[in-house]
Amino acid sequence: MLNWKKQVWLLWCCQLISIAAMEMSEPFWPLFLRQLRPETVNITVWSAIIYGAPLLVSGLVAPYWGKLGDRYGHKKMVLRASLGLAITQGLLFFCTELWEVLALRLLQGALAGIITAVLCFANSITPTEKRSAVIGKLTSATAAGAILGPVIGGVLIQWLSFSALFATASMACLLIALVLAAGLKQPPLSASGEQKKKHRPDSVPSLNTQLIGLGLLVIFLLQTAKALPSSFFALYAESYLEITPFMTGLLFSSAGIGMMLSAPLWGSYFDKLQQASKPLVLAFITAIAGLCYFLHLQTDWLLLLLVRLVWGLCLGAMLPMIQALMITFAEESRQGLLIGRAQRNIKIGNLAGVSSGALLLVWWDYQTGFTVAAAVYLLAASVLMMVWSLLNRSYEPVPAER
């Protein structure tokens, strides 16, 4: 019998290391590109392209990988993502031209997608009543990796070199792929679900389609709001608060710490909630996140630290739990595809948020940026209220296959 708890812990550890390996280089692309071509004047533009290109490609292919996982097994997708990271990080070791870096980053976006693959596999082995807790746990691994990665990357760059960074990341991902190949046990693939469709009222699929559509919209709005201030937060902290880069990093990472600590707790809490109550609770949490943005304009860094910690606690619930809720609206045999579509909206929302934040700062000020981000959160809360209304009206959950 498959021990799903041990499998989830293995996925948690490997996801933490994979995300840390991937995030080692993320804050340092401008430095690496300047090292490759010191005479290039538009390093900022190149950095933005090399940062955003894999996000766009990954978002476009995520539903495709999810659908393949539904058909052929999600273990293959986890191994593909791990090996994709290992290969692309290793090839970056040999890069001497900007276009080579861009090509490999595009390839990384197409082949990797470790978060989607791990989430799909975990969802396929976890009992229905425990899925929110598992998604929360995996979210904590992602947050922890995003915090640890830049720290490890900074140490490697300062004491060794960028080559050491890429070699370390590649070897870590290769080791993870080997461990997962030996340790993961592929469960039986889901049935097509045709028999279930024959016994389900005709109104249920169309209602579930509406709920999924609204859920995907919420995911896009939540990620847009989250990413919107990231393009100007460092400038805001430097000019508005007049603090050191170390303190700016502390403020920025405090949200990740809150997310890492809260996500597993939110998951356990949402597993105990009635299905019809979940959108209402998420709407309330999202409204609090919007309030946190209104409170960002502080001159006291300690107060801002607390605000961002509370915001991080909200982050631990919003995206993970709306994904967990959406999964219940889909048939077992199509849940990988749905997770891939959700990840696509996260990637696109991230790009929309970063670019919108940069444009807002060109034409207006920091206060406008935080206000717009808060308004996007409130819009997401309004859509969640629509989901709650539909869910309480006539929702019938898709029966589990096991």
Among the residues of 273-317, which ranges form H helices? 278-294, 301-315
Give CA–CA dist 314/281, Å, rounded: 11
Give CA–CA dist 134/328, Å, rounded: 14
* Domain spanning 190-397, CATH class: mainly alpha
Tokens of 307: 């605000």
Give CA–CA dist 204/186, Å, rounded: 31
pLDDT in tens, 303-353: 888 988 999 999 988 988 888 888 888 777 677 778 888 888 888 888 888
Task: Please tell me the predicted confidence (pLDDT) of residue 38.
Answer: 64
Task: Please tell me the predicted confidence (pLDDT) of residue 249.
Answer: 67
**pLDDT for residue 118 is more than 80:** yes
Confidence of residue 210 (pLDDT cuts 50, 70, 90): confident
> What CA–CA distances, in Å, run from 194 to 74, 198, 211, 326?
21, 7, 21, 20
* Domain spanning 1-187, CATH class: mainly alpha
For residue 11, give the DSSP letter: H
Cα–chain-centroid distance for residue 290? 19
Task: Please tell me the predicted confidence (pLDDT) of residue 205.
Answer: 55
**pLDDT for residue 172 is more than 80:** yes
Q: How confident is the prediction for the chain on average, in pLDDT?
A: 81
Within this chain, domains 1-187 and 190-397 share the same CATH topology: yes
Confidence of residue 196 (pLDDT cuts 50, 70, 90): very low
Buried b (16+ CB within 10 A) or exposed e, 213-242: ebbbbbbbbbbbbbbbbebbbeebbeebbe
**pLDDT for residue 193 is more than 50:** no
Q: pLDDT higher for 108 or 298?
A: 108
**Mean pLDDT on 223-227:** 90
Classify residue 336 as exposed, middle or buried by CB count within 10 Å of its CB (0-12, 13-18, 19+): buried
Task: Please tell me the predicted confidence (pLDDT) of residue 140.
Answer: 85
Provide the residue type at 373 as one letter: A
Instruction: Give percent of the chain above pLDDT 90.
Output: 13
**pLDDT for residue 402 is more than 50:** no
**Mean pLDDT on 147-169:** 82
Evaluate whether 132 touches 317 at the Cβ level (below 8 Å).
no
- Residue extents of the structural domains in the chain: 1-187, 190-397
Task: Please tell me the predicted confidence (pLDDT) of residue 195.
Answer: 38
Confidence of residue 106 (pLDDT cuts 50, 70, 90): confident
Evaluate whether 126 touches 134 at the Cβ level (below 8 Å).
yes
Instruction: Give percent of the chain above pLDDT 70.
Output: 86
Evaluate whether 30 touches 43 at the Cβ level (below 8 Å).
yes
Give CA–CA dist 335/66, Å, rounded: 8
pLDDT in tens, 77-101: 889 888 888 898 889 888 888 888 8
User: Rounded to two decimals, what is the model's pTM?
Assistant: 0.79
Task: Please tell me the predicted confidence (pLDDT) of residue 64.
Answer: 82
pLDDT in tens, 346-387: 888 888 887 787 777 778 777 888 889 999 999 999 999 998
- Reported as type and span, the H/E element at residue 29 is helix 29-36
